[in-house]
Amino acid sequence: MKRFLLLSLLLLAGLTIFADAGINIQRQHARVIFSFSGISNLQGYKLIQTHVGYYAKEDDKRPYARLGTIINDDDHTINIQEGGKNWDESDRDIYLSLVDSLTGKTVDSFEYFAKDYSIHFKIAGVKDGRMQYRTDSTRAVYQYLLLNGEGDNAAAFRRNRLIFIACSAVGFMLLIGLFVRNKNKNSK
Amino acid sequence: MPLFYIILSFFILKGLLTWPFYYKLNWKPLAIGFLLALAEAPFLTLLYQDTEINFWIPFFFLFVFDAAVCFLLLQKLWWKAIIVSILFNCIGFVLFILLNS
């Protein structure tokens, strides 16, 4: 009984060490990046990222503040970094507005939820007051250079993965072999 | 994390550091430790890099698997198998996550 209690205590201590350390034992997500191309096709219009929120600035006493960032070149990116355990999901909403440069009125607006996928906007132009665009999305995860990769080294990464699988399979097979050998020896 | 280093670090944990617990069995704990490292280290790396699995699940299964291996292949002492399994899996997982992050 004493031994059982001691072992339970040891197991609990191990688990609490993990929990207290706050180690996230899950593959980490990379930041979500919104990128743009073809901004120059928006002649006479401006694409604006609208920030919506309460009291965006300390000296702003209005109950509801609206601010915007003009997206005026193709290098502009919007980065959303994962904020850990207490990440506020509402912070991931991205509002984009298409504004007429002359009148200053919003003619089109979009809302995207920035989670798990990075989005590249390919803007073709404006037609009938609507922005014409396509989006390409890619998973926002860290690319580990050991197993995952594209392009010229794709064959090397495939070979690496195969070596990992082969090593693991050999290890498990040998252990199973030892189990079987042990069982046969005991049964004789 | 390159394959050689991850297998070596797992072998040090599950082979060399386990050896004092089973020193009467001569080289056998080292061989079992090497096989455990060979089987588990690449498998965990694949899981970590290719999937988004919650690592509490492999942790639990490896804890049970290591305890079963120590109990069935090394010495029929369940308390020693559990102690070794908890101790070196905890260290091993912290090491694994730190090295792969």
Chain A residue nearest residue B55, CA to CA: A25
Chain length of chain A? 188
- C-alpha distance from B87 to closest chain A C-alpha (Å): 8
Q: Which two tokens stand for residue A93?
A: 């909403």
* pLDDT higher than threshold 90 for residue B24: no
Size of interface A-B (CB pairs under 8 A): 102
- C-alpha distance from B7 to closest chain A C-alpha (Å): 10
Could you count the other beta carbons within 10 Å of the beta carbon of residue A170?
14
Please provide residue A40's backbone torsions phi and psi, each rounded to the nearest 5 degrees.
-65, -15
Where is pLDDT greater, at A181 or A63?
Answer: A181
End-to-end CA distance of chain A: 34
Q: Report which DSSP code applies to A123.
A: E
| A95-144 pLDDT, tens digit each | 888 988 888 888 888 888 888 888 999 999 898 888 999 999 988 877 66
pLDDT for res B66: 92
Distance CA(B18)–CA(B31), nearest Å, equals: 11
Residue ranges of the domains in chain B? 3-100
Instruction: Judge: A179–B72 Cβ closer than 8 Å, yes or no.
Output: yes
pLDDT for res A161: 83
Distance CA(A161)–CA(A146), nearest Å, equals: 8
Distance CA(B73)–CA(B61), nearest Å, equals: 18
| A34-79 pLDDT, tens digit each | 999 999 998 889 999 887 766 666 676 655 556 788 888 888 898 8
Q: Which two tokens stand for residue A83?
A: 């904020």
Helix (H) or strand (E) holding A108: strand A106-113
Q: Report which DSSP code applies to A1.
A: -
Residue A7: which of B69, B83, B93 has the nearest Cβ?
A: B83
Distance CA(A151)–CA(A143), nearest Å, equals: 13
Q: Which two tokens stand for residue A88?
A: 């506020």
Distance CA(A74)–CA(A76), nearest Å, equals: 5
| A97-111 pLDDT, tens digit each | 898 888 888 888 888
Per-residue pLDDT, averaged over B31-57, amounts to: 86
Under a CB-based contact definition with an 8 Å cutoff, are residues A115 and A30 in contact?
no
Residue A168: which of B43, B83, B101 has the nearest Cβ?
A: B43
| B65-99 pLDDT, tens digit each | 999 999 988 888 888 898 889 888 888 888 887 77
Angle between helices B28-50 and B56-69 (to 10 degrees): 160
Under a CB-based contact definition with an 8 Å cutoff, are residues A96 and A49 in contact?
yes
Mutation target for A interface from B43, B62, B70: give the one with most A CBs within 10 A: B43
- Spell out which residues of chain B touch residue A11, defining contact as CB-CB under 8 Å: 82, 86
Place of tokens 């996550």: B97
- Spell out which residues of chain A touch residue B54, defining contact as CB-CB under 8 Å: 25-26
Distance CA(B70)–CA(B72), nearest Å, equals: 6
- Spell out which residues of chain B touch residue A18, defining contact as CB-CB under 8 Å: 90, 93-94
pLDDT for res A35: 92
Q: Which two tokens stand for residue A148?
A: 């995952």
pLDDT for res A90: 58
Where is pLDDT greater, at A33 or A18?
Answer: A33
- C-alpha distance from B23 to closest chain A C-alpha (Å): 19
Q: Please report, for chain A, how many H helices and E strands are present, in that order.
A: 2, 8
pLDDT for res A27: 65
Under a CB-based contact definition with an 8 Å cutoff, are residues A98 and A108 in contact?
yes
Chain A residue nearest residue B6, CA to CA: A164
- Spell out which residues of chain B touch residue A182, defining contact as CB-CB under 8 Å: 72-73
* pLDDT higher than threshold 80 for residue A23: no
